[in-house]
Each structure stands twice: as structure tokens, then as C-alpha cells.
Amino acid sequence: MRLDLRAVAENARRAETTELLDRVTVYRDDMEPAALDLIEGELARRGVEPDAIRDHHRLRRERLIRDADGSCVRCEFCDQPAVRLGRSWHRIGGIIPVFRRSFAYCEDHDPTAE
């Protein structure tokens, strides 16, 4: 499969800074080198310094949950790194509980966070 660098560049321009920081840090191993270069360039264009990237990585790494293969577990509700695993009801249409299952939650979607 061929990497569409124009699409990657456009996606990077539209993405939130935090999302780009996650891509170049915790999801780095899943990224193509050319895509990383484009994202790092976009972060530089936004004025994000290398120290800020290192700080973001350190903070994320302290809390994120890793899978058995060492990869970062993603939140069930977005692409952020998961920081907590929990069990809840799987619901049809978001209403009717069917069965209990495990969920991975990021900081934003963690129902226990205040």
C-alpha cells in the first residue's frame, strides 16, 4: 500500500495539536517515517518546541496502558491513549444493556474522573 503524503499533510493541518503530539510520541512505532516527518514539521510550524514534545511523551507514558505486545491501548471512544480499564454494560443504541464487557478509557472519557 502506498502512503498518500498529501492526504497525511492535510490531515496533520486539520488535527488538534494534542492528537499530533500523541502520534509522534506514544503511537510513533505505528507510523511511517515519512508521515512522522510531516507531523513533526506541522508541530514545528505551530511553534511546538522539542522540549514540549518530550514533556508530552513523559506525561502520557506515565499513565497510559500497554497491550500484551507493548503497544498503547486506545480509548474506546476516541484515539487518545487509554489510562484506565473498566467494566461496564455494552448497550444497544446506547440505551439497552445487553452484557458487561471491558472498556478502555482516556482521561477525557473516564467515567470515574472528576
Q: The domain containing residue 110 runs over which residues?
A: 64-114
pLDDT at residue 114 in the model: 65
Q: Are 33 and 6 in the same domain?
A: yes
- Cell numbers standing for residue 57: 511523551
> Structure pTM?
0.83
Q: Which of 44, 63, 82 is the last residue in one of the domains?
A: 63
Q: Are 2 and 37 in the same domain?
A: yes
35-40: Cβ within 8 A, 24+ apart? 35/3, 35/5, 35/8, 38/5, 38/8, 38/9, 38/12, 39/8, 39/12
pLDDT at residue 1 in the model: 61
Q: Are 48 and 88 in the same domain?
A: no
Q: Are 53 and 78 in the same domain?
A: no
For the chain, the domain total comes to 2
pLDDT at residue 94 in the model: 83
pLDDT, tens digit only, all 114 positions of the chain = 677 889 999 999 999 999 999 999 999 998 999 999 999 999 999 999 999 999 999 999 999 999 999 889 999 999 999 999 999 888 999 899 999 999 999 999 998 876
pLDDT at residue 21 in the model: 97
